[in-house]
């Protein structure tokens, strides 16, 4: 057969890069560029072949980059706030205006009157943080936190702080070493599709896959065992499993002795650890003491070979108990029959799951963000961690507990430092969940991405706050909700566009990756690096910024002191096509295999003494969140509304890609067919979900994958895509005191959202958003 003529084919090149979006897959992409246009994205070989592959979202990058929503020039608002009326202006005009307005506000009201905030719907590369910390002599406000952090908080509390999105789970490929994996509130088949391959590989190799999810997700349909507890009752189930494990003695005593807080003595009066000098309470805190079974005294841990794991004792008139005894007592009431009432499961299933997990062999618990978006999800994560701790199912191949929805968990390696900052450079953190809900000194906000639509609950409150601001600047790729309410809009390059040879470097998949320029900037878009640098120069802060991002990246790779980077230079990575395998082991990374826990005690701490005053030193089922049927709002608003992730988007990124919009064209309100019938609704009809906070109108899809009482609108649709309202008008922003006490901020509980549903008249939304 004759090959087709290529005579009319224009010159093309293939550039390899790495996806930048927030599913965390970090797929290596081969991008075909023809006549300067990105026309095709395919999987490119990754240095570690386990990570070769991409997902449907990556495939839509060409139309994402050129979508009709793309912002092509800097813009200034001309109509009323929120009217969406803008005129193009030059970069010089835009940057000068920002600098003049910010300088005037800082002079009049101090630097905390300026706030920076970002959302992953814009350029995902950490930007504007240097400018934020330098501006006004340090002290600008920084809106931080948001959502998908509660499970990390719980794991960080237990094992040591690994940062806001710190990973505690083993590498995806380690699933092959597990005999059983509990996939809990985690749905990689729809959220992190490149992770799903590893779960299926493990299942097909004989690992038992247990999916815990109230909904029959695309991951649940592939499980060996699907367990559907009542939505929001996961914590009760975890405590019930702990109960069975401890009562039946399915515990790893050596692990508890050597690697956990189990033997530490706790004062039963205050809930604080018992320390030497505790009776006088005047000395500085030292390490918690343990009970020495030989001498019958409280002693330092390292001075006894026979500490007690269990027991209640008296020391100098002070009642103490081991942390393990307190855990045992605290889960005593979570009997299988009681937990069956709380979760809607059978008691026998709870017993069977605990036994199966404990006896399987190495087993993992992989958490996702489906269990993150309730008010007490940090307590759930601590309970899940405690399950792994009491059974010693951690730190071994095939054994671990952690968030698996985000990133590979591959071998870590540290890049060298970026350019230095002066000591005084800093920002004042403002928890995102409190923005608009308490008085702040902020008068102007510099937004990166669609913050209001995606990172804040209770949208009407957030929009009301936005209207109080004197000046709003947004840097984004696309016109979205926050841009509509801005005064100046700046067009940012996507991760595919650049003028520099290396946009950034990242460690992923046991490799070092570069992101090179794939295509020229679209329209007049500039990279975040250039925008930040040029703003800084206008503020007189240019000395703290390098000329190009390539300078920064070269310094980070050539200056890396981590042995994983031995004999790896920036030039070598470029010559190798932008990716090289690091000097790390070829076996899957196992968390806490060699490294100790980074808690104060160096042990896994299921007991958190700082939370004793709130009654949360041990995880307990605090049944006050809106999701539960026992909540006061449940009668008035009988439906629980969640927002699962959609296959077509990473959060709201890719809201505008034509090919996937052909498949999934509009927001749909999914609910159990019985719930629809009871409300006089049928497939395809328009319905309104409402509560005291707001409303949304969407097309009904009757789907028995959802239990009665639960409904869903996938997250990340934009204001203009709804027939009326917005799912974020309905969401909850109740603040969790325990999270705030330990971490200084709280997770936004998007899934603690009760609604009622009624038929909606078909009408388009007016011009006013």
Partner 1 sequence: MTRLAMVLDLDRCIGCWACAVACKQENSIGEGLWWQKVDTVGGETIDTSVGVFPDVRKYYQPRNCFHCADAPCIPVCPTNAIVKRDDGIVEIKQELCVGCGKCEPACPFDAIEMNVVAPLLPPGLEKGHGAAEVQPRVAGVVEKCSFCSHRVDAGQDPACVAACPTQVITFGDVDNPESRVAAARRSPGAFRLGEDTGADPSVWFLPATQGELQRRSGKPSGSTAPRKPKGLS
Binding to partner 1 (CB under 8 A) within 451-490 occurs at none
Q: Which of 162, 197, 338, 437 binds partner 1 (CB under 8 A)?
A: 197
What radius of gyration do the chain's Cα atoms show? 27
**339 contacts partner 1 (rule: CB under 8 A):** no
Q: Does 182 bind partner 1 (CB under 8 A)?
A: no
Stretch that binds partner 1, among 53-61, 275-283, 431-439, 476-484 (CB under 8 A): 53-61
Distances (CA, A) of 644 to 140, 271, 486: 34, 38, 29
Site string for partner 1, 573-612 (x = CB under 8 A): ----------------------------------------
Regarding 414 and contact with partner 1 (CB under 8 A), the answer is: no
Site for partner 1 in 498-527 (CB under 8 A): none
**From candidates 20, 94, 115, 227, binder to partner 1 by CB under 8 A:** 227
Kindly tell me which residue out of 339, 639, 696, 746 binds partner 1, with binding defined by CB under 8 A. 639
| Residue 494 sits in the site that holds partner 1 (CB under 8 A) | no
- Residue 759 found at the interface with partner 1 (CB under 8 A): no
Taking 3-state DSSP, the helix, strand and coil percentages for the chain, each rounded to the nearest 5, stand at 30, 20, 50
Stretch that binds partner 1, among 157-165, 367-375, 424-432, 659-667 (CB under 8 A): 659-667
Of 295, 615, 678, 762, the one binding partner 1 (CB under 8 A) is 678
Question: Could you say whether residue 62 binds partner 1 (CB under 8 A)?
Answer: yes
Q: Which of 574, 575, 409, 367 has its CA nearest to residue 51? A: 409
CB of 201 or CB of 461, closer to partner 1: 201
CA atoms within a 13 Å half-sphere pointing along the CA-CB vector of 527: 25
Alpha-carbon gap, residue 172 to 195, rounded angstroms = 7
CB atoms within 10 A of CB 259: 19
| Residue 438 is a binding residue for partner 1 (CB under 8 A) | no
CB 344, min distance to partner 1, A: 5
Q: Is the dihedral of CA 611, 613, 618, 622 positive or negative?
A: negative
Q: Is 10 in the site for partner 1 (CB under 8 A)?
A: yes
Angle between helices 336-343 and 347-359 (to 10 degrees): 110
Q: Candidates 223, 507, 580, 746: give the one binding partner 1 (CB under 8 A).
A: 223
Q: Which two tokens mark 440?
A: 């702040």
Residue 619, both tokens:
């995880």
Nearest to 386 by CA among 273, 237, 166, 187: 237
Question: What SS3 state is found at 723?
Answer: coil
Site residue total, partner 1 (CB under 8 A): 87
Asked if 226 interacts with partner 1 (CB under 8 A), we say yes
- 194 scored as a contact of partner 1 (CB under 8 A): yes
| C-alpha torsion 443→446→451→456, nearest 10 | -30
- What is the distance between the alpha carbons of residues 368 and 407, in angstroms, rounded to a whole number? 11
Asked if residue 387 lies in contact with residue 365, where contact means CB atoms within 8 angstroms, the answer is yes
Which token pair is 132? 């934020």
Q: Find the shortest distance in angstroms from Cβ 196 to partner 1.
A: 5
Among 87, 205, 221, 464, binds partner 1 (CB under 8 A): 221
* Residues between 11 and 40 with contacts to partner 1, criterion CB under 8 A: 12, 34-35, 37, 39-40
Q: Does 241 participate in binding partner 1 (rule CB under 8 A)?
A: no
Distance CA 373, CA 377 (A): 7
Question: What residues from 352 to 391 belong to the interface with partner 1 (CB under 8 A)?
Answer: 353
Among 508, 512, 504, smallest CA distance to 560 is for 512
202/181 Cα distance (integer angstroms): 9
Q: Which of 251, 387, 415, 757 binds partner 1 (CB under 8 A)?
A: 757
| CA–CA dist 237, 334 (Å, integer) | 9
Using rule CB under 8 A, residue 662 touches partner 1: yes
236 binds partner 1 (CB under 8 A): no
Question: Which of positions 296-335 make contact with partner 1 (CB under 8 A)?
Answer: none
């Amino acid at each position: 057969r004759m090959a087709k003529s290529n005579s009319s084919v224009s010159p093309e090149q293939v550039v390899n890069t790495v996806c930048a979006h927030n599913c965390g897959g970090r797929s290596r992409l081969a991008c075909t560029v023809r006549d300067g246009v990105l026309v095709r994205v395919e999987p490119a070989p990754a240095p570690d072949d386990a990570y070769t592959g991409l997902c449907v979202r990556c495939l839509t990058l060409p139309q994402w980059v050129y979508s009709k929503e793309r912002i092509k020039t800097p813009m200034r608002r001309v109509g009323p706030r929120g009217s969406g009326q803008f005129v193009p202006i030059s970069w010089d005009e835009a940057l000068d205006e920002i600098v003049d307005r910010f300088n005037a506000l800082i002079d009049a009201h101090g630097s905390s009157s300026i706030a920076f905030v970002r959302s992953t719907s814009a350029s995902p590369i950490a930007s504007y943080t240097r400018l934020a910390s330098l501006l006004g002599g340090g002290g600008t406000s920084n809106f931080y936190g948001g959502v998908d952090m509660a499970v990390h908080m719980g794991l960080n509390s237990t094992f040591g702080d690994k940062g806001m999105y710190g990973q505690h789970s083993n590498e995806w490929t380690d699933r092959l070493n597990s005999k059983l994996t509990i996939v809990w509130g985690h749905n990689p088949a729809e959220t992190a599709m490149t992770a799903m391959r590893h779960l299926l590989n493990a299942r097909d190799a004989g690992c038992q896959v247990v999916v815990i999810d109230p909904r029959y997700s695309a991951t649940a349909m592939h499980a060996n065992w699907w367990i559907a507890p009542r939505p929001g009752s996961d914590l009760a189930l975890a405590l019930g499993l702990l109960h069975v494990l401890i009562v039946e003695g399915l515990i790893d005593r050596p692990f508890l002795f050597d690697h956990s807080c189990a033997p530490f003595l706790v004062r039963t009066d205050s809930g604080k650890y018992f320390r030497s000098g505790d009776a006088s309470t005047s000395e500085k805190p030292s390490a918690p003491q343990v009970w020495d079974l030989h001498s019958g005294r409280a002693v330092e841990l390292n001075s006894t070979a026979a500490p007690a794991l269990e027991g209640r004792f008296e020391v100098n008139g002070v009642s103490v108990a081991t942390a393990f005894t307190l855990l045992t007592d605290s889960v005593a009431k979570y009997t299988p029959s009681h937990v069956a009432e709380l979760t809607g499961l059978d008691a026998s299933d709870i017993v069977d799951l605990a036994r199966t997990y404990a006896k399987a062999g190495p087993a993992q618990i992989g958490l996702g963000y489906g269990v993150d978006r309730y008010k007490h999800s940090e307590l759930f994560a601590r309970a899940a961690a405690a399950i792994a701790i009491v059974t010693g199912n951690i730190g071994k191949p095939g054994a671990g507990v952690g968030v698996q929805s985000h990133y590979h968990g591959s071998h870590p390696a540290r890049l060298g430092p970026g350019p230095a900052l002066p000591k005084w450079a800093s920002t004042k953190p403002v928890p995102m969940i409190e923005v608009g809900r308490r008085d702040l000194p902020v008068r102007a906000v510099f937004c990166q991405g669609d913050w209001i639509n995606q990172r804040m609950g209770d949208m009407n409150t957030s929009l009301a706050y936005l209207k109080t601001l004197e000046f709003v600047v947004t840097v984004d790729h696309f016109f979205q909700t926050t841009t509509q309410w801005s005064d100046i809009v700046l067009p940012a390059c996507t991760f595919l566009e650049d003028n520099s040879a290396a946009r950034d470097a990242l460690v992923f998949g046991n490799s070092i990756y570069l992101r090179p320029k794939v295509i020229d900037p679209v329209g007049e878009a500039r990279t975040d690096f250039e925008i930040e640098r040029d703003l800084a120069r206008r503020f007189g802060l240019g000395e703290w910024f390098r000329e190009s991002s390539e300078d920064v990246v070269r310094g980070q790779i050539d200056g890396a002191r981590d042995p994983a980077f031995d004999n790896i230079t920036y030039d070598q990575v470029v010559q190798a096509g932008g990716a090289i395998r690091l000097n790390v082991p070829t076996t899957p990374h196992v968390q806490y295999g060699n490294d100790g826990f980074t808690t104060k005690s160096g042990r896994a701490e299921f007991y958190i003494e700082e939370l004793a005053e709130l009654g949360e030193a041990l995880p307990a089922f605090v049944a006050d969140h809106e999701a539960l049927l026992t909540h006061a709002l449940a009668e008035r608003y009988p439906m629980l509304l969640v927002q699962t992730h959609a296959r077509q988007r990473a959060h709201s990124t890719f809201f505008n890609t034509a090919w996937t919009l052909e498949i999934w064209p509009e927001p749909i309100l999914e609910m159990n067919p019985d719930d629809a019938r009871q409300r006089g609704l049928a497939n395809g009809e328009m319905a309104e979900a409402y509560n005291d906070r707001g409303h949304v109108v969407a097309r009904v899809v009757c789907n028995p994958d959802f239990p009665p009482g639960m409904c869903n609108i996938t997250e990340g649709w934009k204001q203009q895509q709804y027939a009326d309202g917005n799912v974020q008008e309905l969401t909850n922003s109740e603040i969790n005191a325990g999270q705030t006490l330990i971490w200084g901020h709280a997770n936004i509980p998007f899934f603690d959202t009760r609604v009622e549903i009624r038929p909606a008249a078909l009408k388009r939304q007016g011009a006013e958003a």
